[in-house]
Amino acid sequence: MLKAVVVSVVVGITLAIMSCFLILKSWALLGDAISHAVLPGVVLAYMVGIPFGLGAFIAAMLAVVLIGYVKNNTKIKEDAVMGIVFTTFFAFGLMLISKVISSTDLTHVLFGEVLGISDSEAWYTVITLALVSLVVVMFRRIFTVFCFDPTHAKVVGLPMGLVHYLFLGLLAVAITGSIQTVGIVLVIAMLITPGSTAFLLTKKFNVMIVISILVSVFSSVVGAYSSYYFDIATGGTIVFVQGVIFLLTMLYVQLVPARYR
């Protein structure tokens, strides 16, 4: 139980930090695209016998590169390109699953199961996501300028192409490292909800990150313990708690005048 809580909290912190940047950049769909696109990589990794995380990361980066290539070489808008790429990858993953993986494994891949995570998987998740959080925090000013005002970033001489792919690479690592906890389907909610909740309460980005982390950590702890004692899905419970917090925050913002907040 303690191991599950620690892993859930680490996952929650990393995804909460990434969530703020995605909300600022209006890239919520990109997180959805990457989280779904990793499925064929996971299945192929299962078939070959390599770690799931490695296969998922390769698939995620392939999807990112493909999205960029199609966007730069066609007139199709970016959101449509993301939709085409991630649904194609996800469909391919489902095709592979129907041939090589049992229904039990399918549930594990799609929805995660942190209560059944092994020690080696727990260490992998914690170390990987801790490194992602560290890098994002270290370069947060660069990523903030990149997300908020890319034109200014070009003017001051930032290598936008490098920053773009570095951020996408970190996002891919964060998503693939979170699969064991919340699964492919639910990771997108953890990439959107904490940042959106924080955005309702403040317009200061540093404060937004802090609120997002607090929401995510609280949800992870409550969700993990609730799933254990009520014998329900851990990832789904964590996301449900985050959704409830978002709805309560929205009602609070609507009902309480700004001068009293």
HSE-up of residue 183 (Cα within 13 Å, Cβ side)? 20
Burial of residue 211, with CB atoms counted within 10 A of its CB: 0-12 exposed, 13-18 middle, 19 or more buried:
buried
Helix (H, G, I), strand (E, B) or coil at 119: helix
Q: Are 129 and 178 in contact (CB under 8 A)?
A: yes
pLDDT for position 105: 59
pLDDT for position 109: 65
> Residue 197's closest CA among 183, 178, 176, 213?
213
The amino acid at 217: V
Give the residue carrying structure tokens 């909800």: 193
pLDDT for position 184: 73
pLDDT for position 120: 79
Q: How does DSSP classify residue 231?
A: T
C-alpha distances in Å from residue 192, one per residue of 53, 159, 164, 216: 22, 27, 19, 11
pLDDT for position 17: 93
Burial of residue 164, with CB atoms counted within 10 A of its CB: 0-12 exposed, 13-18 middle, 19 or more buried:
middle
> Residue 113's closest CA among 42, 15, 183?
183
Nearby residues of 74 by Cβ (< 8 Å), 6 or more positions away: 81
pLDDT for position 67: 85
CB atoms within 10 A of CB 173: 22
Q: What pLDDT tens digit does each residue of the chain (261 aa) get?
A: 788 788 888 989 999 999 999 888 888 777 778 888 888 888 888 888 887 778 888 898 898 888 888 888 888 887 888 889 889 998 998 888 887 765 545 566 666 677 677 777 788 888 889 999 999 989 888 888 888 877 777 777 778 778 888 888 888 888 888 876 677 767 888 889 999 999 999 989 899 999 999 999 999 999 888 888 888 888 888 889 999 999 999 999 988 877 666
> Residue 62's closest CA among 93, 25, 107, 19?
93
pLDDT for position 180: 66
pLDDT for position 132: 92
Tens digits of per-residue pLDDT, 216-236? 999 999 988 888 888 888 888
Q: How far apart are CA 163 and CA 17, in angstroms?
A: 17
Domain residue extents for the chain: 2-260
Q: How far apart are CA 78 and CA 83, in angstroms?
A: 9
Instruction: Give me the CATH topology for the region 2-260.
Output: ABC transporter involved in vitamin B12 uptake, BtuC (1.10.3470)
pTM for this entry = 0.84
Helix (H, G, I), strand (E, B) or coil at 17: helix
